[in-house]
Amino acid sequence: MRPAGVSFLFLLALAGPAPAQPASRACFSAAEAREKIAAEKLAEPFTLMRGQAADHHAEAIGVRLCDGAAGPVYEIELLKKDGRLIHTIVDAATGKPVNAPRK
């Protein structure tokens, strides 16, 4: 079984370049994300990815930790079976969705 950090890095690399972000949202590098998750005891990103994938009947393909207006958030990318890409935003501390998915 792979350590979670290795998989997290792989998924961050898979996500590719970040889509255009609002000026107020900055995303963290993989190393910064690991440090912030540990320091702030944030929710486990893979658990949230699996939950979002199940909720949206899609496959989770990437996750990024970013600064949100009310604190850290995970931006999760999901791929539907019909090829559509869905972006969800989840509060990194509580694990609750921040808003409806962007399609």
How many domains would you assign to the chain?
1
pTM, rounded to two decimals:
0.72
**Boundaries of domain holding 40:** 4-15+25-91
Q: Is residue 100 part of a domain?
A: no
Q: Is residue 58 part of a domain?
A: yes
Cα–Cα nearest to 47, from 7, 87, 103, 81: 7
Q: Is residue 98 part of a domain?
A: no
> Is it the case that residue 45 has pLDDT exceeding 60?
yes
Q: E-assigned strands of 45-91?
A: 58-68, 71-80, 85-91
> Is it the case that residue 12 has pLDDT exceeding 70?
no
Q: Is residue 102 part of a domain?
A: no
